[in-house]
Amino acid sequence: MKIQIDNFGPIHYFECDLDKDLHLILGTNNIGKSYGITVVYLLVKSLMEFAEETFSIEFSAHMRQMPSEVLEQVSALNVGDELDIIATVKDETTKLLQDGFLTRFQDYVEGTFGSMDTIGNRFSREEPHIRLVFGWGRMDIGVSDNAFIVGGSTIENMLKSIKVRCVEEDKTDKIIENEQANLIIYHRKDNNDLGYSFFSVISIYLFLVICQALAKIHTIHYLPASRSGLYPALSAFGQIVAELAKSRSYLNSRIQLPGIAVPLSDYFLQLSQIKPNKKQDEDNPIHRIADDIERDILKGTVEFDKKTRELFYIPNGTGPKLDMGASSSMVSELSPIVSFLRHIVSKPARKQRAPQLSLVEIFREILQKIPQEGSPPKPLLFIEEPEAHLHPENQLRLMAAFAALANAGVKVMITTHSDFLFNKLNNLILEKKIDTAAVSAMLFRQTEKGGEAVPLPMDELGIEDDNFIDTTEALYDEKVDLIDRMNRGGDDGDAG
């Protein structure tokens, strides 16, 4: 899925292709890098949660009502007549996306950035616009009256029509049938209860949208900047979260820390609710990468205490267990990354909940016609400034670990100011340890209308440096000039 963001806060334009496995996002400070990936995170999070709830009992009960004007037209059908209701299905699907997906997304945006008044383009004052492009579908999201709205959506070349066909009572026992990408709802003249059939068709349509939009992603995780300071500060919530987690089965809504941006809240809640693996899977490549980071960078191990719900660091050979507040900033920056990899990211994907069993065959017929490309769904990990507090040698090791994660089936999206990460990635490309087809490199540039993300040219020799080279050259030129001035000053002194 590609996500295109226009006129959102400090951003004029940002597009990311979530089919890629390793994203490197560069640019100067305060230009929109973190803002952009936060919007992407909130979008995907909202869509995934909407997908989880779409086929619930509550959703089923809500959808068993066909719009009255369509019901009147169906009731007037005679045996053998047909009525194409694909426009109605699209309208109802749009309403569901509006109510379920976008309402949730707006809540998360306001919980992260503030009111809707603050999210328009800060430079041009233009309204935000988002476009999701997935396979053979597209969804446009705009803003009207301070609320996100579905500006339009398409599902191309899959369902040509959705027709209600009036039949005699004893002619067929079918409810729904797929005839060469034309869905047929069989309506018996003496039976006006079309609620189940209508719900089933809406389910099919939504299922197709969701399957395509989330085809390459099964979980998302966000690791914010300043992890070394955030974790000790948020640990004060640890016992509260632990008690809430015990009563999770009695809670109707998701736990969220009030007054804290949604990605930060999710970050801490996920860390606090870790369920350590009783036995580490040595064959799991993600576990091995976490072990490599501990061995080669941390020089110790990271453990999670199930009672206190906190992380601890045990240095190699010294024995005492240190909490994050007593550890070095490098340790407290990397320990959450190791814990996420070992206990959260490495968990297998849950199966996508499908609509009711009677529709499985119809889904199978339709989905068989969808071109299946690439690998199965993967976890997506957002990491802000992973180089923080790391010596350049360790930055190089960490970049190698990120490339290994991408090869092991984890999508990684990084914002960075590190030329060491950038140059190490180039060397990994040269070594053919990661395929350029799996890599995206974007540079945010400042324009009159805000930050604009520009793809950096890339080939088998690496990524073109349009970010650090100017600063490096300027620094070198400054040094040469200073040396030249010093030499000229010395010459003048000798002449005197």
Q: Which tens digit of pLDDT belongs to each residue from 247-256?
A: 444 444 555 5
pLDDT of the residue at 340: 95
Beta carbons within 10 angstroms of residue 134's beta carbon: 21
All structural domains of the chain, each given as residue ranges with its CATH number in brackets, are 2-214+352-367 (no CATH), 220-350+374-434 (3.40.50)
Contact criterion met (CB below 8 Å) for 4 and 11: no
Decide which of 162 and 128 is more confident. 128
Contact criterion met (CB below 8 Å) for 290 and 338: yes
pLDDT of the residue at 196: 67
pLDDT of the residue at 399: 98
Contact criterion met (CB below 8 Å) for 18 and 1: yes
pLDDT of the residue at 251: 44
Rounded to whole angstroms, the Cα distance separating 22 from 435 reads 10
Rounded to whole angstroms, the Cα distance separating 294 from 288 reads 10
Contact criterion met (CB below 8 Å) for 378 and 216: yes
What integer is the mean pLDDT of 439-466? 96
pLDDT of the residue at 254: 56
What integer is the mean pLDDT of 266-285? 81
Please tell me whether residue 300 adopts helix, strand or coil conformation.
strand
Rounded to whole angstroms, the Cα distance separating 266 from 261 reads 9
Label each residue of 220-289 as H, E or C.
EEEECCCHHHHHHHHHHHHHHHHHHHHCHHHCCCCCCCCCCCHHHHHHHHHHHCCCCCCCCCCCCHHHHH
Strands 22-27 and 411-415: parallel
What integer is the mean pLDDT of 335-364? 72
pLDDT of the residue at 457: 95
Lowest mean pLDDT among 25-39, 65-79, 214-228, 269-283: 269-283
With 90 as the cut, is the pLDDT of residue 135 above it?
A: no
Please tell me whether residue 331 adopts helix, strand or coil conformation.
helix
